[in-house]
């Protein structure tokens, strides 16, 4: 059998998921990128997801979810994300940006979509290095979700098993960036900031911007997004 | 500690989930009923869910999901549900009304909502007797989801464990109806039919109507919905 294999890739428009999409493509999968529109405040991400999907040749699906689907997080509630870049805030405990059951919800929808399109391979950009504080980024969670997928579905029960791929799982940000660069990812198309300006300009103050900046610095690569931004500022 | 315990109950507007809501109430929980509006064709169910929730004193939350969230099923695609009431069609294999990852998706949202409102108890009306053909109605699936919930969440990781209750799991339809009647459930408020008329009148031909009718017959109870319907037809 040399039938074409299909992969469903969770694509947020951020750096990590753009890299995962490139990895799945490099693995030879026909790509289906799945993005959630849940009324996120950083809506610039949705435009980035569309651009990244198009650049990769992926079929792009945007699934609308009720804003209330993701609750109790600084990312979706309230006027502004608390900013605390101290080492303690970034490495200890569960971050304020934790969203209850976020990855479980997203993977569940990816599972339904994958079964529908005949894909048995789901790719997700979690990593357990930079995001060790999030319970649903840990390897044990990914393994448990894969087991659940094979109990929960017609395909799984019939022995046509699902695999949940988390290729960034053991990479830190600079390793992710290096891998993506090797695969030709244009990180200038991505968005990372928790509270960008209306035109997508990153704030350079939030945790996400700080992690991204450190990642590029450690990878020895210039962030094309900042290059773009700097050029813009000179106008 | 005698703090009030909160339960999140998945409520479709059907007979099973109305019974589960009554069971959770009888167990002493403060009730939060969660209903999904995913553009289902049998929208009369949504009105029933609201009425059932109100009658039980539950807080009622309706979460809108993209129609595309549930795919590949006779319940949500195409113009009409295939009707096959032969014993074979009802008891063998996975029914045409199987929706990819449906219960995984619904439980995931219930989990996020539960963590948000401080509930650690999720109730779902699956049963493994009448719906043995659905992979995501089996006890093994419910157990796996509960394990996942405790890996996936802040509360679970911190030892404040979630429980997924499926109190109908080992009941058949007539046992469910008897239990509900003992708890005072008004089944005249519920909807079961896969393709009701615009006013909610059941078709009496689909699998769901057939299972319901058989359940009431075996329980030795008159279905108040049919009583209502008959009265309506006499106008």
Query: With 90 as the cut, is the pLDDT of residue B148 above it?
Result: yes
In this prediction, residue A76 carries a pLDDT of 52
Domain for residue A1, yes or no?
A: no
Does the beta-carbon distance from B101 to A109 stay under 8 Å? yes
Residues lower than pLDDT 70 in chain A: 1-2, 72-92, 130, 227-235
Number of structural domains (chain A) is 1
The CATH number of residue A73's host domain is: 3.40.50.620
Cα(A83)–Cα(A133) distance, rounded to whole angstroms? 16
B101 chain-A contacts, CB cut-off 8 A: 108-109, 111-112, 115, 149, 152-153
Domain for residue A112, yes or no?
A: yes
Confidence (pTM): 0.89
Domain for residue A121, yes or no?
A: yes
The vertex-B146 CA angle with B141 and B148, nearest 5°, equals 95
Cα(A213)–Cα(A211) distance, rounded to whole angstroms? 6
Q: What are phi and psi of B59, to 5 degrees?
A: -70, 135
**Contact in structure between A103 and A141 (CB atoms under 8 Å):** yes
Instruction: Give tens-digit pLDDT for A191-216.
Output: 999 888 888 889 999 888 998 999 99
Domain for residue A60, yes or no?
A: yes
Among candidates A94, A100, A107 on the partner chain, residue whose Cβ is nearest the Cβ of B112: A100
Q: Which residue has the tokens 């679970």?
A: B156
- Lookup: tokens for B17: 């989930």
Nearest CA of chain B to the CA of A157: how many Å? Answer: 7
State percent of chain A over pLDDT 90.
Answer: 66
Domain for residue A155, yes or no?
A: yes
Domain for residue B1, yes or no?
A: no
Determine which helix (DSSP H) or strand (DSSP E) holds A50, and give its type and residue range. Answer: helix A44-56
DSSP structure class, residue B226: H
Among candidates A66, A147, A154 on the partner chain, residue whose Cβ is nearest the Cβ of B65: A66
The residue of chain B nearest to residue A98, with distances taken between CA atoms, is: B154
Interface test with B, best of A152, A157, A162, A166 (most B CBs within 10 A): A152
Cα(B135)–Cα(B94) distance, rounded to whole angstroms? 8
Cα(B44)–Cα(B51) distance, rounded to whole angstroms? 11
Q: How many CA atoms does the CB half-sphere of B144 hold within 13 Å?
A: 22
Instruction: Give tens-digit pLDDT for B59-82.
Output: 999 999 988 888 755 545 544 444
Q: Which residue has the tokens 């469903």?
A: A8
Nearest CA of chain B to the CA of A222: how many Å? Answer: 35
Determine which helix (DSSP H) or strand (DSSP E) holds B165, and give its type and residue range. Answer: strand B163-165
Helix axis angle for A207-219 and A173-182, nearest 10°, is 60
Domain for residue B126, yes or no?
A: yes
Domain for residue B58, yes or no?
A: yes
Which domain does A16 fall in, by range?
6-234
**Contact in structure between B83 and B74 (CB atoms under 8 Å):** no
Between the alpha carbon of residue B140 and those of residues A143, B20, B73, B127, B175, the distances in Å are: 16, 19, 23, 12, 22
């Amino acid at each position: 059998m040399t039938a074409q294999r299909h992969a469903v890739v969770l694509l947020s428009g951020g750096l990590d998921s753009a890299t995962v999409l490139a990895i799945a493509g490099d693995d030879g999968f026909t790509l289906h990128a799945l993005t959630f529109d849940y009324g996120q405040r950083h809506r610039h991400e949705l435009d980035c997801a569309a651009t990244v999907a198009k650049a990769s040749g992926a079929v792009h699906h945007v699934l609308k979810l009720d804003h209330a689907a993701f609750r109790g997080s600084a990312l979706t509630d309230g006027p502004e994300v608390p900013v605390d870049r101290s080492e303690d805030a970034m490495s200890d405990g569960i971050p304020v940006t934790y969203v209850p059951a976020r990855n479980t919800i997203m993977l569940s929808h990816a599972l339904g979509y994958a079964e529908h399109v005949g894909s048995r391979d789901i790719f997700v950009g979690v990593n357990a290095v930079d995001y060790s504080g999030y319970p649903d980024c840990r390897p044990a969670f990914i393994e448990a979700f894969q087991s659940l997928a094979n109990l929960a579905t017609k395909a799984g029960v019939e022995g046509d098993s699902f695999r949940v791929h988390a290729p960034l799982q053991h990479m830190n940000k600079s390793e992710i960036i290096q891998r993506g660069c090797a695969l030709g990812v244009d990180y200038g198309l991505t968005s990372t900031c928790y509270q960008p300006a209306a035109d997508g300009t990153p704030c350079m103050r939030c945790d996400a911007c700080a992690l991204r900046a450190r990642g590029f610095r450690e990878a020895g690569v210039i962030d094309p997004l900042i290059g773009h931004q700097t050029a813009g500022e000179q106008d």
